Amino acid sequence: MSDPAWGPSTARPPRGSDPVRIVAGGRRIAYWESGIVGAGRRVFERTRPELAALRADALRAQVLRGRGLGPLSQAPLVEVMRALVAHLTDSGAPESSVKQYRSNWNKWVPEEVRETRCCDLEWRHWTSIFDGLSRQQASVGTIRSVARTMGTLLKFAVARGYFDDIEPFTTPSRRAATVSEAVTSARKRTDARRTTVGLAQCPTREDVERFAAALETFYPGYGERLALLAYATGMRIGELLALRVEAVHLTATRATVDVNVQLDRARAWPATKLPKGGHTRTTIVWRAYRHVIESLAEDAVVREGPTEGVLFPPPRPVTDWAQLAGSLACAAAESCGFEWRLHWLRHAWASVSLAPVTAGGYGLDPASVQVWLGHRKMSTTLDYYVNRQHGDEETAYAATVRKPPPGSSVAAGDVAMSGDITAQHVGAVSAVRSPQLVLTDVVAGSDPVVTSAVGEMSDE
């Protein structure tokens, strides 16, 4: 006759060898953590009589997993992490990767999970890691980074016998589903918060110049030009720091830069990799800042040594030049009251390039700006940077005073390169003024010069 306390799913072991017992009329469960009666610590857990059998089954499966396994399966997960870090360090893994693994572990893995034995890890432990990320509203990038850290840890542990034949935490498909759920939640949060970036949120030219002057004190000889070139090209910091003179093309009618690489932060400087998304592109330099890239190219050509040809050499020997540059930029921003991250210079470039002349921008073609930014989809550019302008009905009414020219419309190839800011781009504007920006008088062949604005937002 079967005992209903054990439930239908588990055969009752001999009484003297069973590490899990229901006691106190089903109100408590007593079990040996080691899975062996009389060995290690005995734990008493409260429960309800109607749930006692199910909970006993779960505990029995948990403690019996540890029996017959190698001694490493009894190690807490934190010991595995220490072993992984030591292995990566001894094998010469990139320092940046080891630092990222440590950071993810220390910040995102709960104490309970760290101290749990490998043989006792369950799906709930894995879920608790990513539930914590969701509660803290971590980004998609952070969630994926933590998942990579845990994946590396489990691969290391399984190969060295910490789990023997047990699936760590749970099955791979369940682990992947948990990560996918956290990523989906993060994307929804991002979409809910996302707003377009326009001139009103971006730093003004005066803000940029103040920041550039401050950065010069922290990165002498190059800091000012680094900030100004970021503002004039929309390039990301990793792309700028990897820029070489061969990528710069200057003619009488245009100034362009081939964005073929960015710094590889997983390897020591000057290692590079493809730009974000794995796609190369060519971008323009605003004509008003042509002198900046000209002077940088001239310096790069005459410089000798390992930094010959590099537009922005590190100020001292360093392995992670991108991290150092970011630290210098943060210090400069704090010293001058600059409220934006360095990446906001890219936002400012896009916003000024796309904003109509009547609002203080250059009014450049969105399809071209999309290519120069390196966005794969036009929707990315339009969703982030194109705003409806105040008084657009009046502007449209004034601009359509004449009929379209007879014959056919202007072919795309007949339009002047958008990189050459001329009177055609500006239109017949003489002294355009708005509450946010003021433009100088436009003479045929000259450039509109922005002299004021305000700002603040996120990343693209």
H/E element, 175 = helix 172-193
CA–CA dist 323, 214 (Å, integer): 18
Task: Give the pLDDT score at 460.
Answer: 56
pLDDT one-digit tens code per residue, 92-141:
988 878 999 999 999 999 999 999 988 888 899 999 999 999 999 998 88
Using the predicted structure, report yes or no on whether residue 425 has a pLDDT greater than 90: no
Nearest alpha-carbon partner for 89 in 79, 81, 80, 98: 98
Task: Return d(Cα 67, Cα 440) in angstroms, integer.
Answer: 81
Q: Which two tokens stand for residue 173?
A: 């498909």
Cβ-proximal residues to 138 (8 Å cutoff; 6+ apart), any chain: 108, 146, 182, 186
Please state, for a pLDDT cut of 90, what percent of the chain lies above it: 54
Tokens 């001999």, located at residue: 14
- Tens of pLDDT, residue by residue over 272-282, are 999 998 899 99
Q: Is 392 helix (H, G, I), strand (E, B) or coil?
A: helix
Q: pTM for this one?
A: 0.57
Residue 329 vs residues 157, 215, 228, 230: alpha-carbon distances, Å: 39, 6, 13, 12
Name the band, by pLDDT with cuts 50, 70 and 90, for residue 87.
very high
Domains of the chain with bracketed CATH: 4-67 (no CATH), 73-193 (1.10.150), 205-346 (1.10.443.10)
Rounded distance between C-alpha atoms, residue 325 and residue 246, angstroms: 22
